[in-house]
Every structure is written in structure tokens, then in C-alpha cells.
Structure 1
Amino acid sequence: MSSRQADLAIIGGGIIGLATGYRFLERYPGRKLVLLEKEPQLAFHQTGHNSGVIHSGIYYRPGSLRATNCRAGRLALEEFCRQEEVAVDICGKVIVAVTEDEIPRLNNILERGLQNGIRCELIGPDRLRELEPHVAGIQAIHVPEAGIVDYPGVCRRLAARIEERGGEILTSARVTGMSHVGGRVQLQSTAGDVESQLAVNCSGLHADRVARLSGARPTSQIVPFRGEYFELKPEAEHLCRNLIYPVPDPRFPFLGVHFTRMALGGVECGPNAVLAFAREGYRKTDINLRDLTESLTYPGFLRMAARYWKTGLGEMWRSVSKAAFVKALQRLMPEVRAEHMVWTPAGVRAQALARTGNLVDDFLIEPADRVINVLNAPSPAATASLNIGSLIVDRVAEQL
């Protein structure tokens, strides 16, 4: 069987892969694009389990890719959603300090936000109660530019636009091999071979493995962290109006357990962050020996575990104890009770970890020979996806 021919092949049908395909055909109409997704449907993993928040960009180091892409990406995403009639609501969020020792960190976040051009303000307890009557805090940052969106809905519209412009989307198309033949990239997949001028690896939880298929040698490894959630029962949804976040621990790229009103209805509470025993380990009982062995024997993981074992134990305890999870949420909202909440499906985050034991805290996009590898795309990647897509297409243009 002959190979499909393409100018660009994209591996991965999450929001980054789809946004890249959308931006490529927007810039190069008439070019041939093939997108390969290993699952039977698009947006199956990280995108499909996303909490649906549109981030403002307040947290990120000024000048970082996360900071520079988040604000522009947010504006592009809002415009896309309005044009495509995807559910979106710029409802605002509060970042809440509940103890005096959190105030300096809250002020640091405010300063970052101002440096990043984010509209935000420091508020006291009275104004906080006006915004979120059931939240306890001594000070907070109000960020009116944050919001909520239906990310799977965004992906459906991106896919539709790609196909309207002549792009081809293959599902159940797991890439099993990659080689360079005559200045082109040859992809072997379960849906047939694709020969392309260039390839972009947007494979999320498997990004480092796909990069190695291309001949690259990533300096980091994907370690999967499961984020578990509760959902408020309908009779308790009034406790949360919009988005309620704690002051995060600056040592980690996780934002702490929080309350999120969802674009399609409901309120989620979470997530925690625990090592998943499989890269697609959405349940505590999901174990993949290859994945687990790779994580536990990776020098970077061992160094991180030695450094932060107490924090890790706390996250694991919240994973097995509903009471401990609820206690963490009650720091923000004393009225919430265990009987208000039910478990809801978890997500798994692909976190790149350096051999030094440091979590990679920025987007990591590395060009190689005719392949561009997206090796780390943590939050706010979904918010920034359309801008990241443009950034990747810029890299593609250098080799096209």
C-alpha cells in the first residue's frame, strides 16, 4: 500500500495538535496536512480531561513562553469561541490567601501579573465576600480576565475547520515508527504510512517516546501525574460562583486544589497531583509496568522524590482519603462538606522532568531534523493553544 503524501504530518489530536493544524492551513492554504491520533476520537487524553479554565497568565515568569503565549492565546481563543459558537464565559477568578504567611506569595503573584500586563487587583475580605460569599480569606487577588470554556467543543470546531481546508485527520492511527528517507519523514502507523516534508510531535503523554522514534534525544522525560477531582452535588453548587484558587506552592507547577465552575454546568473541586502508575492511568488501579518502571528508575524522579517526599505523601493521602481532600478544600470554603461531593473522572498530566529532578516549568518545543517535538506543554497550554500553534508553524516555516 502506498504512503499518504503530506507537506506536514502532525502526531497527536489534542488541542495543541489541532491548533497547529488549524494555524498551518490558515497560513498555507492548499498545502497537504495529515494529522494522526492514536485513539478512536480526538481530544481523548489531557484535553478531554481538562478542567476547562481559560487562564489569564498571572502566575508565569515574565518573559517565559507560558507568559508570552498565554495572554495572546487567551484573546485568540475567546475570539475563536465567539466566531464558532463554543461555550465560553469570562467570569473571573479569585486567588485567596487564608493565612498571614501566604500574603508575601500572594503579593509576588500580583507583581507577576502586573508585569505580564494582566488586569488584576488586590482585594480585602469584604470585596472577596461580595464576589464569593462562601470563601474564607484575609486577602485575595481578583482576576477578571480568567474564564471557562468547553475545550472538547473547541477541538471539534478546530477539526471541522481543518477538514474544510482539505486537511486529513486519521483516528486509531498510532505512530509505531519514524525514519528519514530522501529528505522526507516517513511515519509508520496503525492506519497506514505517511510520508511528509515535516512532522510535528504533539503526542502529550507520549511526547518523549515519539521524539526518540524521530532520532532525537530529549533531555527530559515525561512523568505522569494523576489529578483527581470531586464534583459538587447540584444542591451545593451555589457555594461557588466562578473560579476559586488557593495561593500555590511556588516550588511546583501545580496550582493546588481549587473550585471550578464548568462551562457546560457543574462545579469541580480539585485536583491533587499524584504519580500515576501508567501514562494513561486515570484510575488508582491502572498499572503499566513499563511506564511505572520508567518513572521509578529515572534519575530525575528519584532526585525529585528525595527532595519532596513529604509533599508527595500528603498528595497520596488526599488520593485515598476523602476526608483529607475535603479538609484541603475547607481551607478556602469552610462550609463545604464531604456529603456535598462525589468523585468525578480524573485526568493525567504529562509533566516533563529533567534529570536534575527539576520539573520543567515552561513550554518546551525542540526542533530536530525535519521534526519539531513539543516535549512539555503544561497549563496554560490549552488557553494558549492557538498562539502555540502559530509559534510551531513559525518553526515549521524555517524548514518548509
Structure 2
Amino acid sequence: MDDLIIIGAGIVGLATARAVLEREPRTRITIVEKADAVATGQTGHNSGVVHAGLYYEPGSLKSELCRAGRLATIEFCEENAVPLGRVGKLVVATDERERARLDALADRSVANGIDIERIDAAEISRREPNIRGVQAVFSPGTSIVDFGLVARTMQARLEAAGVRLVFGADVRSIDEHGSAGAGEVRVRTADGAEYRARRLVACAGLQADRIARLGGLPVDFRIIPFRGEYFELVGQASLVRHLIYPVPDPSMPFLGVHLSPTIDGRITVGPNAVLGFARERYPRGAISAADMFDYLRFPGFWRMAFRHRRAAAIEARNSMFRRSYLAACRRYAPGLRLEDLGRRFAGVRAQAVRPDGSLVEDFLFERTARQLHVCNAPSPAATSAIPIGRLIAGQFAVGAR
């Protein structure tokens, strides 16, 4: 019997195993993952941004873990020769209304202890000749990385330390026996295999609510999938040097379409945020009837949809029409042309929604005597993965025998 089973081999699951071994190197750990490799979900389908923590409510887990995660991610990359680009980020206001919101964002950044610089229109043009705005906030601490490579590097280190990774393991049941002091958790997978351990940590991402229900937790939220669609710029690899973000719109639940240099020398545009018709299918038009039925019968979905109906209409229009998507980018990058929007690809965000239709904004953890479930891990979860793992290892005594 193992000391710990971890469900999910995304970056949070791998970082949790790493943190447990930091505390107790003798811990016997098995990671079960239904895909055939690590980082096939949200970890491998994102903008690759190591966030500094500009946006988050002071005192929230997001704020605290993001700031710690930025430093931990940089340290991990330096120690393991993982390429990291310290490109910095410009959050650009394009009119006077956005300028007021930018000032509020700058104040929040200062309250969070984030190093920023306020710059005017002339300085924006000097630093980024292809970008236009009336004012910007520059975050020098924002970086870029390939989080898939970070996860694969973690995998190699974990396997060298004796951690067992089992792929193709689709969890179908979780049974907990005994109290916190004595007992075990049994996990059965679709192929009939059984795994037993003293503790279980679930980092199941897009399946977090389903796995929590299997574990017997009283789940009152539902994971709603949102597609984040990107374009890759064609022939514009030198368009910008920094990450370029719009000022967040408080009526929209996500950060908006941005320009992202990647660690391999490309520039992506995106993502938008449209309702997904499948949790783990990435091609355009992919549908899972089971996934759709799951959220359509959830009252919180309809309340959320009504509350954000304006944002949903805008995002749907941008998804259907390239010209609308382009218009969102041209507010701050007026030189972009339709033909610059090349290959299209997507990720899927896991967003926990309450029965009242509210989005769960912060990280959410639920537990029983022998289980801990990461129920909501939105952006900046990849940036925050290492301190999330340490938080779990510290609060949930998985390593003691």
C-alpha cells in the first residue's frame, strides 16, 4: 500500500508530489492519470505566462500563491535549465474610461506588493512602436515559459525519486475507510485496477467536481468548461517585445484577448472565453453530450448565463467572426490585419460555478479525513502550482508514517 495517491498529472498534481517529497523523501506515491502523458489538459493549453499577481484581491489565496509561485517557478527553471523569458507585461488603456480602471489596477498591484511602473502614451510608443494607448502599467516581473516542459521536467525528477506514474488510468470509484488516524483510500480505474493508499489528493482540473463526488464529498458547485481560443500571428514574430494585455473589463469574467510572445519565438493572440461544449475536447465544434447535459441541468449555469449574457454575446461574436476578434486586438494594436491571424487552436478552462450562478474566483480546496481535493484552480494555477503543492503538503499530513 502507498502512502499517497494523487489523481491528475497536470502541473498542480506533479507539484504536490514534489512538495510531499520535500517534506518526507521516503513517501511512497502513485500518480494516476487518465491521459497517456503529463500536462495534456490545462497545463499544456495556456498562454505560458508566469504571472506577477497584478489582478488579485489583496489577501486572497490567488494573490498570495501567485506571488510565491512566480519566485518558485523562476527558481525551478533556473535549477533545471528550463528556458524562461523575462519579457515583462504592459497593461494598456486605450481611452479615458480604461485609464480610470487602469489606475485602480495599479493601486491594487501596489497593495499586493507588486513592482510596477506607470508609463504614458509616448513611452508606450517608444517601448512598443506597434502598440497604441493613453497610459499603461508595466510589470517587469511577468515572464513566459513552456508549462508543459516544466511539467515534463517535474515528471523526470519525480520518477527518478521513485514516484510511480500510471497513465491511461480513468478513475471510476474512490472508497475511503477508517478515520484520519487509521485506514486507507481505495481507487479503482476503468480497466479494473485498484490502488490503495493512506491518503489521496485529487488535482483533477476539468473533472474536479466529478472526482470529488466519487470521493463522497458534498459538492455544491459544477465545473463549467470555457474554451479559450487563440490565433498564432503569421509573419509578425517581431510585432511586440512584451506581453500586451488590455485593461480588464469588470463586466467580463476573464482578462481579455492579449498578445503573448512565446518561449519558442512565436506570438499568440488570445484567448477569448466562450462556453465549451466538451470538457476535454479541443478541436473547434467538439461536443460531448454528457458534458453539456451535466451543466444544462445545473441551476447555477442558467443563473450565471443570465448574469453574464452581455459578455457571452460579445465572446460568441468574436468566436464566430474573425473580424470581430481582430477588432478586439486592434484597440491596442491598430496595425494588425485579418491575414495576420494564422493557425487557430484552443484550451479549455475549468471554472467552478456555485448554485447561485456566481463564479468561484479563488482557489478552492475540500477535504475529508483522508482526502484533499483541489476543486477550483483557475489562472494563475500554473504559476502558483509549486506553492499550491506545498500548501497541500503542509496542511494534509501525507508524508508521516
Q: Which category of TM-score, normalised to the shorter sequence, fits these structures?
A: over 0.9
Residue 223 of structure 1 is matched in structure 2 by 224
Q: Secondary structure at the match of 1:237?
A: coil
The question of whether the paired residues in 1 share the 8 Å contact of 2:237 and 2:265 is answered with no
Query: How many Å apart are 1:290 and its aligned residue?
Result: 1.3
Query: How many Å apart are 1:152 and its aligned residue?
Result: 0.8
User: Mapping of 1:59-208 within 5 angstroms?
Assistant: 59-182=55-178, 183-190=183-190, 192-208=193-209
User: Mapping of 1:14-53 within 5 angstroms?
Assistant: 14-53=10-49
Q: Secondary structure at the match of 2:199?
A: strand
Partner amino acid, structure 2, of 1:30: R
Residue 375 of structure 2 is matched in structure 1 by 375
Q: List gaps (5 residues or longer) in structure 1.
A: none
Paired residue total: 395
Distance in 1 separating the partners of 2:133 and 2:287:
40
Distance in 2 separating the partners of 1:320 and 1:344:
12
Alignment deviations for residues 178-218 of structure 1 (CA, whole Å, 9 cap, x no partner): 10234210000246211011101101000000000000012
Distance in 2 separating the partners of 1:368 and 1:27:
21
Query: How many Å apart are 1:343 and its aligned residue?
Result: 2.9
Compare 219-228 and 247-256 and name the one that shifted more: 247-256
The question of whether the paired residues in 2 share the 8 Å contact of 1:37 and 1:173 is answered with yes
Residue 237 of structure 2 is matched in structure 1 by 237
Q: Secondary structure at the match of 2:381?
A: coil
Residue 257 of structure 2 is matched in structure 1 by 257
Query: How many Å apart are 1:352 and its aligned residue?
Result: 0.5
Q: List gaps (5 residues or longer) in structure 2.
A: none
Partner amino acid, structure 1, of 2:323: A
Runs of 4+ aligned residues of structure 1 deviating over 2 Å after TM superposition are 250-253
Compare 127-136 and 345-354 and name the one that shifted more: 127-136
Partner amino acid, structure 2, of 1:369: A
The question of whether the paired residues in 2 share the 8 Å contact of 1:175 and 1:188 is answered with yes
Alignment deviations for residues 338-371 of structure 1 (CA, whole Å, 9 cap, x no partner): 1111133200000001111111111111122311
Q: Secondary structure at the match of 2:352?
A: strand
Residue 328 of structure 1 is matched in structure 2 by 328
Alignment deviations for residues 152-183 of structure 1 (CA, whole Å, 9 cap, x no partner): 11001111111111111111111111102342
Query: How many Å apart are 1:398 and its aligned residue?
Result: 7.6
Residue 296 of structure 2 is matched in structure 1 by 296
Q: Secondary structure at the match of 1:386?
A: helix
Residue 281 of structure 1 is matched in structure 2 by 281
Query: How many Å apart are 1:237 and its aligned residue?
Result: 1.9
Partner amino acid, structure 1, of 2:219: P
Distance in 1 separating the partners of 2:249 and 2:362:
16
Query: How many Å apart are 1:286 and its aligned residue?
Result: 1.0
Instruction: Give TM-score scaled by structure 1 length.
Output: 0.96
Q: Secondary structure at the match of 1:249?
A: coil
Q: Secondary structure at the match of 2:75?
A: helix
Alignment deviations for residues 40-93 of structure 1 (CA, whole Å, 9 cap, x no partner): 111001001111000000100000000001111110110100110111011100
The question of whether the paired residues in 2 share the 8 Å contact of 1:253 and 1:361 is answered with no
Residue 361 of structure 2 is matched in structure 1 by 361
Query: How many Å apart are 1:295 and its aligned residue?
Result: 1.5
Partner amino acid, structure 2, of 1:43: A
Query: How many Å apart are 1:399 and its aligned residue?
Result: 9.1
Partner amino acid, structure 2, of 1:131: R
The question of 1:212 aligning with 2:208 is answered no
Change (3 A) 1:355 1:399: farther
Query: How many Å apart are 1:35 and its aligned residue?
Result: 0.4
The question of whether the paired residues in 2 share the 8 Å contact of 1:226 and 1:281 is answered with no
Partner amino acid, structure 2, of 1:206: Q
Compare 107-116 and 249-258 and name the one that shifted more: 249-258
Distance in 1 separating the partners of 2:277 and 2:268:
24
Taking only the aligned residue pairs, the percentage that are identical comes to 44
Alignment deviations for residues 119-159 of structure 1 (CA, whole Å, 9 cap, x no partner): 00211011111221111100010000001001111001111
Q: Secondary structure at the match of 2:77?
A: helix
Q: Secondary structure at the match of 2:397?
A: helix
Residue 386 of structure 1 is matched in structure 2 by 386
Q: Secondary structure at the match of 1:47?
A: helix
Instruction: Give TM-score scaled by structure 2 length.
Output: 0.96
Distance in 1 separating the partners of 2:142 and 2:165:
32
Change (3 A) 1:229 1:174: same
The question of whether the paired residues in 2 share the 8 Å contact of 1:276 and 1:284 is answered with no
Query: How many Å apart are 1:283 and its aligned residue?
Result: 2.6
Distance in 2 separating the partners of 1:252 and 1:218:
26
